Amino acid sequence: MKIKGFITHIVTEDEDGMSIKDFLTYKKLSRQYLIKLRNNDKVTINGKIHKFWNPISVGDQVLINPYLDEISNVNPVKMNLDILYEDNDYIALNKEYNMATHPTSGHMNNTIANGVIHHLQATGFKSLHPINRLDKTTSGVILFAKHPIAQHHLTMNRPYKEYLALVEGVIEKDHDLINLPIAKIDEPSIRRIITEKGKESRTEYFLLSRDDKYSLLRIILHTGRTHQIRVHLSHIGHPIVGDFLYGEENAPRLFLHSHMIIFKHFRNNKEVKVISPQPLIFNSYLKS
């Protein structure tokens, strides 16, 4: 019987004779997570619980309950969530502008994580695991996993991400790849800078529209550095509209939007595409 949400696997010849522990390690599960699976009887072989040093054989059915019993340390807060996609492993939402992603000392209960954990606990899940993070001032698609196996899969298989950005000035090139290393300035500043001592950072953009004052860009992230898009665009002389760190705070918001995430689902290797439409306020700044 296939249990909803559980992960089933039939042992192959290559896995024959492995201990349960070695098999799960072979599947790239962390030692800490293995201990939690073992201590909570989350793994069965042919419907029975075994010691983790017991061997498995060809044709055995390994059944893993991937969900942790630990309650998240994020306070659940009931919110109206804009859910774009959800299944037993992932949940993707449309994050509003000016909403923090995770609790901090200054934002303990009014983050999107608070709302997500309330939703998950109301539907039988107990913890959440972040896939991508968005700055408070960036809107759009944000993705969480419901258990560590789903999270680990997308850590090893980085999702494809696209952003929309409205920038100052008229960009002449219709397409470009900005390949400039980025590093953090010394504490306490949160700013990043272009420097040869920084980490490799690559941002690709395509021009979607422009007028005599602004340009609208479709952006593909090839690396994931903090403030990467903002730093790169500011460096080439076209800071994002409303960027108080790398440009001028001359607009009601930062005009950066997480437009799309595409990932391969670990259960069936099928592609999942999640899209958040361009905010209407972007249109009001472009004449065309």
Domain residue spans of the chain: 7-64, 66-156, 160-259
* Common-topology check for domains 7-64 and 66-156: no
Among 163, 105, 106, 108, CA closest to 132: 163
CA atoms within 13 A on the CB side of 181: 7
Query: If you compute the radius of gyration of the chain from its CA atoms, what whole number of angstroms results?
Result: 22
66-156: CATH topology is Pseudouridine synthase (3.30.2350)
- Residue 135 known to be catalytic: yes
Collapsing DSSP states into helix, strand and coil, what is residue 209?
strand
pLDDT digit string (tens) for 142-178?
999 999 999 999 999 999 999 999 999 999 899 999 9
CATH architecture type of domain 160-259: 2-Layer Sandwich (3.30)
CA distance 207 to 172: 9
DSSP for residue 164: E
* First-last CA distance in the chain: 57
Here the tokens at position 153 are: 């899969």
Q: In degrees, to the nearest 5, what angle opens at C-alpha 206 toward C-alphas 202 and 210?
A: 130
Average pLDDT over residues 2-22: 89
* % of the chain with per-residue pLDDT over 90: 80
The catalytic residue among 16, 22, 60, 135 is 135
Give the HSE-up count for residue 127: Cα atoms under 13 Å, Cβ half-sphere: 15
**Mean pLDDT computed over 181-202:** 91
pLDDT of residue 194: 94
When pLDDT is cut at 50, 70 and 90, the band that residue 1 belongs to is very low
> Is there a contact between 201 and 184 (Cβ–Cβ < 8 Å)?
no
pLDDT above 60 for 288: no
Range 210-235 average pLDDT: 94
Residues facing residue 61 across a β-bridge: 10
Whether the predicted model's global pTM rises above the 0.85 cut: yes
The whole-number pLDDT of residue 161 equals 95
pLDDT tens sequence across 56-99: 999 999 999 999 888 888 999 999 999 999 999 999 999 999 99
Looking at residue 3, what is its pLDDT? 54
What is the average pLDDT value for the chain, to the nearest integer?
92
Angle at 257 between CA 107 and CA 134, to 5 degrees: 35
CATH domain 7-64 topology = 3.10.290
pLDDT at 218: 98
What are the pLDDT digits (tens) for 40-68? Answer: 999 999 999 999 999 999 999 999 999 98
Position 45 scores a pLDDT of 96
pLDDT of 2: 45
